[in-house]
Amino acid sequence: MKPMPEDWERAIAVVAHPDDLEYGVASAVARWTRQGKTVTYLLATKGEAGIAGLSPDQTGPLRMEEELRSAELVGVSGVEFLDYPDGLVEYGVPLRRDLAAVFRRHKPEVVITMSFDLTWGEEGPVNHADHRAVGLAVLDACRDAANGWVFPEAGPPSNSIKDAYVAAVGEPNYFVDVTDSIDAGIASLREHRAYLDGLGGEFDPDEFLRNMAGFIGLGAGCEYAVAFRRYPMG
């Protein structure tokens, strides 16, 4: 793995649900915003179907609030929600259009998203359908954003995006050293209180994130790291 280049100013991180970015990526976001970079979040859903025993009407606003607090702790400048139905996000032209419209408006150089692999690791559980739909659509929308003949109704084309980086993949090729920013990442995950309580059990954000980032750090040559797979767009 190589260190991820940091010669950029603006990134947008796009995922399906409140909490997706807090399971690792937020530690890297904290590092970037401390460097003065601008990072915004875009969520396809409000995560309203994410807590068993709590109705979507109650859960949606609660999880949006949690996401806003999480984002603030790592210096994110803005959080937007596309309001697709949680659990039922479909890969397709409408999703690509909505993503391309946001990319054209924000003009990020770097786009971050999460794994769209079918499973988590070789023998791991099946990756959520929403994650698969969103991750793949994000990569396609990076190209769509630059093509003025595609989605002309979604704003003027922009070829700002140089690279997309996908987190939580089986075969990463870039890493970000988060040794100095993992504390903010842990605090960010702790903000998802209602969600974590809903899972029950004894989940410890500190232990979970340090274990994962420590394992990646072993391969990266630093104490804690977050790994990505790079997809060049230029």
CB-CB contact of 75 with 28 (8 Å): no
17 is an interface residue for Zn ion by CB under 5 A = yes
Total residues contacting Zn ion by CB under 5 A comes to: 3
Q: Which is nearer to Zn ion, 1 or 194 (CB)?
A: 194
Which span (20-28, 82-90, 198-206, 214-222) binds Zn ion, by CB under 5 A?
20-28
Supply the minimum distance, in Å, between the C-beta of residue 62 and Zn ion: 16
3-state DSSP call for residue 40? strand
CB nearer to Zn ion: pick between 20 and 22 = 20
- Residue 147 tokens read as 């093509």
| Contact window for Zn ion (CB under 5 A) among 14-22, 132-140, 163-171, 193-201 | 14-22
Between CA 176 and CA 148 the distance in angstroms is: 33
Residue 133 phi, psi (nearest 5)? -65, -45
Nearer to Zn ion, 104 or 131 (CB): 131
Least separation in angstroms between CB 34 and Zn ion:
26
137: nearest Cα among 40, 44, 47? 44
Residue closer to Zn ion (CB basis): 29 or 220 = 29
Considering only residues 75 to 94 of the shown chain, the ones binding Zn ion according to CB under 5 A are none
Write out the two tokens for 133.
């739909």
Residue 20 interacts with Zn ion (CB under 5 A)? yes
Q: Which stretch binds Zn ion (CB under 5 A): 1-9, 15-23, 189-197, 214-222?
A: 15-23
Is residue 210 a contact point for Zn ion (CB under 5 A)?
Answer: no
Question: Interacting stretch for Zn ion, rule CB under 5 A, among 10-18, 60-68, 134-142, 216-224?
Answer: 10-18
Rounded Cα distance, 73 and 184, in Å: 7
For residue 119, give the nearest of 130, 111, 127 by alpha carbon.
127
DSSP per-residue letters across 90-110: --SHHHHHHHHHHHHHH--SE
Which CB, 12 or 16, lies closer to Zn ion?
16
Residue in the block written with tokens 């937007």? 80
Query: Can residue 63 be called a binding residue for Zn ion (CB under 5 A)?
Result: no
Alpha-carbon distance of 212 to 217, in angstroms, equals 9
Min dist. Cβ of residue 222 to Zn ion (A): 27
Min dist CB 116 to Zn ion, Å, is 12
CA atoms of 185 and 206, how far apart (whole Å): 9
- Minimum separation from the CB atom of position 216 to Zn ion (A): 20
Residue 65, SS3 per DSSP: helix
Interface positions with Zn ion (CB under 5 A) = 16-17, 20
